[in-house]
Amino acid sequence: MATVTPFEISEFEQLLRKPNSDPTGFAGFFNSGEVWVARVPARLDVMGGIADYSGANVCEAVLGRGMLMAIQARTDRTLRIRSAQVGARSLPVETRIPLDYFTSGGSVGSY
């Protein structure tokens, strides 16, 4: 039996192959080190919301798509987040946050 690769993974692999000169690609975003990837299926929630965790009745279905997240360790103390909508004709959005923003007095800042 053949294994079907989810749409998001195929699209992500294509983004990784795009050269640095292409602003829609991810080739220049990741270093040559290990990248961890996780995928969750998208679901349509008509009724019930998160009440299913407490045993309530719900009406929801898993869609044929999902969300993919990839992370990689960095050495420059900067959190970089890039989001892109697969299949859309838009440029990825990138945010950079220095890790020092999350600390206060040498420890993690309070919420």
- Dihedral angle, C-alpha 80, 86, 89, 91, nearest 10 °: 0
pLDDT of residue 96: 92
What's the number of CA atoms in the CB half-sphere (13 Å) around residue 68? 18
Query: What angle (nearest 5°) sits at the alpha carbon of residue 66, between those of residues 94 and 3?
Result: 120
Determine the 3-state secondary structure of 9 from DSSP: helix
- 69 DSSP β-pair partners: 38
* Predicted confidence (pLDDT) at residue 11 exceeds the cutoff of 60: yes
- 43 DSSP β-pair partners: 62
- The Cα–Cα gap between 31 and 75 comes to 11
Q: What digits encode the pLDDT tens for the residues 36-60?
A: 888 888 877 777 667 767 777 777 7
Considering the entire predicted model, what is its pTM? 0.64
Strand segments, DSSP code E, in the chain are 36-47, 59-71, 78-83, 93-98, 103-104, 107-108
- The Cα–Cα gap between 7 and 71 comes to 19
